[in-house]
């Protein structure tokens, strides 16, 4: 996340006007580099040569309005996200041009609202800047007139800025929330993985039971075949037994002698002597 630098607070300008809180809100709301990008310049001079001392030193990427405490008083301030050139980074390392003054168009493109059209780096501190503002406001000819894009534009007083362009650490609150969110996802994934493991174990147990059941069914099939064979053997034995009994019933007992026919009676039949 890129750092934001406070470039102005509601206050005085070079021509006696005041930068109102409404202007700051409007600049923060309306600023869009695609619509009109504010460049960083040196002492409000806009050079025409790319390698001269008054070349551009960067671009304003975005604006943000926020209340700050100034001497125990709450005032609305304007913060800028800046994309610096290597020259601006080098100047900041050397502690040169450590104040900023913004150029404001109060009625930008006939919208009736304020817009940031430029940002200057300067060595004029706030106290000296205030004297310059008072002088410029009281002068018949504004000494900054030739540095403005439009006569109705105004320059704010110079405020100190620490141009440290190292990446800002993420917000602790946001980092904590993200960490908790990631941890929550981790817990959910762990819980889902545990449930998946349980389901996998259940499937393995079911497959093992199915395998055992199939083996038992196979054994039952074998037993059924054995039962059919035993039944056929039993039926055959029963038939053989029945035939044998019938045969034995038809034959005389061992040692049996048939009695001779009786004689006497009419026609020469044998009579029994009683």
Q: ∠39-158-5 over CA atoms, to 5°?
A: 60
Q: Over the stretch 197-256, which tens digit does the pLDDT of each residue have?
A: 777 787 887 777 778 877 777 777 777 777 787 888 888 888 888 888 787 777 776 666
100, 88 in Cβ contact below 8 A? no
Q: Tell me, yes or no, whether 9 and 130 share the same domain.
A: yes
Same domain, 87 and 109: yes
Cα separation of 118 and 44, whole Å?
Answer: 8
Are residues 98 and 214 part of one domain?
no
Domain match, 227 and 115 both: no
Is 101 designated active site? Answer: yes
Report field, pTM of the whole predicted structure over 0.75: no
Q: Are residues 223 and 133 part of one domain? A: no
Is 265 contained in some domain? Answer: no
Together in a domain, 121 and 30: yes
Residue 244 falls inside a structural domain: no
Confidence (pLDDT) at 134:
45
- Confirm if 57 and 91 have CB atoms less than 8 A apart: yes
266 within domain boundaries: no
Residue 64: active-site member = no
How is 151-169 classified by DSSP, letter by letter? TT-EEBPPEE-----SPPP
Query: Does residue 270 belong to any structural domain of this protein?
Result: no
Residue 87 or residue 45, greater confidence? 87
Q: Which two tokens stand for residue 108?
A: 């930008």
Provide φ and ψ at 21, rounded to 5°.
-60, -35
Give yes or no: residues 128 and 59 share one domain.
Answer: yes
Q: Are residues 205 and 75 in the same domain?
A: no
For the chain, what's the residue count? 274
Among candidate residues 139, 160, 181, the one where a domain is terminated = 160
Q: Is residue 205 part of a domain?
A: yes
What range does the domain containing 209 cover? 171-234
Distance CA(190)–CA(182), nearest Å, equals 12
Q: Quick one: 210 and 120 in the same domain? A: no
Cα–Cα dist 266/262, whole Å: 12
Over residues 149-200, the pLDDT tens digits come to 665 676 666 677 666 666 655 555 566 666 666 666 666 656 666 777 777 7
Q: Alpha-carbon distance 92 to 99, whole Å?
A: 10
Q: Of 15, 92, 124, 156, which is the active-site residue?
A: 15
Q: Is 262 a domain residue? A: no
Among 103, 132, 160, the domain boundary falls at 160
Cβ within 8 Å of residue 194, ≥6 positions away:
none
Residue 249 belongs to some domain of the structure: no
The residue with greater pLDDT, 90 or 200, is 90
The tens digit of pLDDT for each residue in 116-154 reads 999 988 876 544 444 444 444 444 445 455 566 665 676
Give the SS3 label for residue 173. Answer: helix
Among candidate residues 160, 187, 211, the one where a domain is terminated: 160
Residue 242 belongs to a domain? no
Of 20, 22, 44, 62, the catalytic one is 44
* Active-site hit among 92, 101, 124, 156: 101
What total number of domains does the chain contain?
2
pLDDT at position 187 is 60
């Amino acid at each position: 996340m890129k750092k934001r630098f406070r470039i102005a607070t509601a206050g005085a300008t070079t021509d006696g006007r005041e930068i109102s809180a409404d202007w700051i809100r409007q600049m923060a709301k309306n600023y869009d580099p695609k619509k009109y990008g504010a460049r960083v310049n040196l002492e409000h001079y806009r050079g025409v040569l790319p390698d001269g001392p008054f070349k551009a030193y960067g671009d304003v990427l975005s604006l943000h309005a926020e209340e700050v405490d100034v001497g125990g008083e709450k005032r609305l301030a304007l913060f800028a996200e800046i994309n610096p050139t290597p020259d601006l980074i080098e100047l900041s390392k050397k502690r040169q041009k450590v104040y900023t003054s913004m150029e404001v168009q109060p009625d930008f493109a006939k919208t009736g609202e304020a817009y940031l059209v430029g940002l200057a780096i300067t060595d004029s501190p706030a106290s000296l800047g205030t004297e310059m503002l008072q002088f410029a406001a009281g002068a018949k000819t504004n000494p900054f007139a030739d540095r403005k894009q439009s006569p109705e534009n105004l320059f704010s007083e110079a405020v100190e800025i620490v141009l440290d362009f190292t990446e800002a650490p993420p917000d602790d609150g946001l980092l904590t929330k993200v960490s908790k969110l990631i941890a929550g996802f981790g817990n959910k994934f762990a819980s889902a993985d545990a449930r998946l493991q349980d389901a996998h174990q259940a499937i393995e147990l079911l497959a093992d039971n199915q395998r055992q059941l199939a083996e038992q069914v196979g054994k039952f099939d074998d037993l059924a075949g054995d039962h059919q064979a035993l039944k056929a053997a039993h039926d055959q034995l029963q038939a053989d037994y029945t035939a044998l009994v019938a045969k034995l019933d038809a034959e005389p007992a061992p040692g049996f002698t048939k009695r001779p026919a009786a004689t006497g009676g009419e026609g020469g039949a044998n009579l029994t002597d009683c």
